[in-house]
Amino acid sequence: MTFCTGEVELSFGNTEAEHRIYWKGTANERQPQLLFGLLFEDLLDQVQKPIVLDLCGLRHISSFTVVVFMRFLRDARARGLDIDVVYDVSSSWQCMTFEPLRQLSSGPVEVIDGTSAVPASAVACA
């Protein structure tokens, strides 16, 4: 399933092990809660396996959308769902933006170095 709005596209990948949400494009919405809030609530109501937010495809994200991410992570944890965040460590803006989400993630934040996934503890953000 794919959800497109404005300049951002969300693709949903569902496997036996996890439910992954791929973000692609630019998330500049001024009221992202109106766009993503209900979508995320429905997702949290339906899934019972780990959720992975894959943010590697984002070129930019507004601070308003970061707040929506934070609420989503908080709500997932409150429901006892495992949730991880994947971002591109080679992108300095992604490191600065998504590194703080580590505190809200239920497990280690997977960091992508552009060619392979490595544990977050093995890579320091620049």
Domain limits, the chain: 2-122
- Looking at the structure, give the CATH architecture of the domain made up of residues 2-122: 2-Layer Sandwich (3.30)
pLDDT tier at 105, thresholds 50, 70, 90: low
The CA distance from 86 to 84, in Å, is 7
In the chain, the percentage of residues whose pLDDT exceeds 70 is 79
Mapping DSSP to helix (H, G, I), strand (E, B) and coil, where does residue 3 land?
Answer: strand
pLDDT above 60 (res 115): no
Mean pLDDT of the chain: 78
Convert the pLDDT of each residue in 4-52 to its tens digit. Answer: 777 888 898 888 888 899 989 988 877 888 888 888 899 899 988 888 8
Residue 118: per-residue pLDDT: 40
Helical H segments across the chain, by residue range: 32-46, 63-78, 92-98
| Structure letter (DSSP) for residue 115 | S
Q: What average pLDDT score do residues 86-99 get?
A: 86
